Structure 1
Amino acid sequence: MQKVIGKLIIVALISTVGILYYLWQQAVQIPEEYIKASEDKQDSQSLPLLPKQISEQAAVSTQKLTAPIDKAKAGQKVTVKLNDRDLNNLIVSKIATSQPNKQIPVGIKGIRTNIKDGKIHTGALVNLDQLARNGRSGTQIAALSKLTDKLTFLKDRDIYIGIVGKPIVDGTQIKFAPDTQIKVGKMNFTIAQIAEDLGIAPAKIQQAIDLHLQQQNFKVDSINLDNNGMAIEGAKK
């Protein structure tokens, strides 16, 4: 009987090690879409950008969003077109403007965005320890600490963290659909799973990944994605 129990313990240990190794392999790998986006956009976020550079790039992309609306008359149908570089510029700007120094936080590098198979893929290489050490205190930093405490093999190394989702129109807002996936390496999690694991309300995570593309004088009717970009159709108010 003791031999049987011993064998079962050994099998259980081997299985546990195998599962942990698999999780480690999945967590530290970089998704193909990120590699492709990096190859296509070597000049985008390759180096830390100054606040002025971030705001200038965002201004160019914001102009593409607002110009067609400004030129239209009230009630006129308008189509706004943004490419993946524009989306990346706006995402970078959103992250930077949330910081006191208006720069990308230490610990985040290589922000990339592309559009593939009707979904937006955006993410970056993130060092959770650096981000926690250099970030402001608060819920987000506490959540990062919880994540590294749970997945100790992620400590002090760069890993890919990203979002894969389809933008939808929700009333007057454009935001990611509820089935959006949060990626850690090649592992996929739902918003609900991440929220439960980190003890954060799902609405908080949804708010954090909001696209913030709304314009007060524009009513969005539909959003269409293809591999060349995103078209937002609506009417000027």
Structure 2
Amino acid sequence: MQKLIFKLLGVLLVATIGGAYYVWQEAIKVPEEYAQASADDNIDSQSLPLQPSQITERAAQSQKKIVAPIERAKTGEKVNVKLSNRDLNNLVVAKIAKTQQNKQIPTGIKGIKTNIKDGKIYTGAMVNLDQLVRNSSPGSQTAALGKITNKLTFLKGRDVYVGIVGKPTVDGSQIKFSPDTQIKIGNMNFTITQLAENLGVAPQKLQQAIDLHIQQQNFKVNRVNVENNGLAIEGAKK
């Protein structure tokens, strides 16, 4: 996540050269879908810091919804898996925490929310770039991130939305984001192709960084359907 934020800021820095005021206005906006998700999520917000044990426990509960029906089925038998918005969010939180040495969400990333609307998955968080730089391990990436944030003065001290909007698709036995997925900073949308061109990387590499990675070795996914507030996954036990 931190690497992706670093790369996005590089693109944002280039964009300000062509239209600083427009970029400033759009970058500090909170997307409507995130604001709505925050308003709806009044029971158990992910904006509070979670301990590694809590992150692991929640992810395990959601992962069980995938594993349990597969374990109950016989080889070749049809399997249906249902995942709610909260299940997807638990898996996203665990994926981000897994990349950190302390297995926690990095300080500076908060309010992680995932919801499904109009056939798309919306997942993102509010990111405070100053806190992220201040609490990152020393290194060339942190130093470069600091230099970029110093130039993007309109983001200093602000919480900025960074997120992903895309449709789920089946690739082999893995559920991934479709190629037309968009990555957002504030209210600005970037396609994977646009970002890949600006960053000088292969689109496939960027796709790997944002993929859902919902899969099981003994489960062949045939179809994934977007439903209200969740996903319905159809497949068969191998």
**Considering the TM-score relative to the shorter chain, is it more than 0.5?**
yes
CA contact (8 A) 1:143 1:198 kept: no
Q: Distance in 1 between matches of 2:230 and 2:86?
A: 9
The answer on 1:160 being equivalent to 2:171 is no
Q: Distance in 1 between matches of 2:126 and 2:151?
A: 19
CA contact (8 A) 1:166 1:177 kept: yes
Structure 1 residue 207: deviation in Å?
1.2
Structure 1 residue 26: deviation in Å?
0.9
In structure 2, stretches of 5+ residues that fail to align are: 1-15
SS where residue 103 of structure 1 aligns? coil
Structure 1 residue 143: deviation in Å?
7.8
Q: How many residues align?
A: 222
Match of 1:74 in 2: 75
Deviates more, 1:145-154 or 1:155-164: 145-154
Give % identity.
69
Match of 1:92 in 2: 93
Higher Cα radius of gyration: 1
Q: Distance in 2 between matches of 1:109 and 1:119?
A: 22
Q: Distance in 1 between matches of 2:69 and 2:133?
A: 41
Amino acid at match of 1:31: P
Q: Residues 90-169 of structure 1: matches in 2 within 5 Å?
A: 90-136=91-137, 144=145, 148=149, 151-169=152-170
Q: Distance in 1 between matches of 2:143 and 2:178?
A: 25
Deviation digits for residues 65-106 of structure 1 (CA, Å, limit 9, x no counterpart) = 111111000000111000100000000001011100000001
In structure 1, stretches of 5+ residues that fail to align are: 1-15
Match of 1:8 in 2: none
Q: Distance in 2 between matches of 1:172 and 1:146?
A: 41
CA contact (8 A) 1:147 1:198 kept: no
Match of 2:5 in 1: none
CA contact (8 A) 1:181 1:191 kept: yes
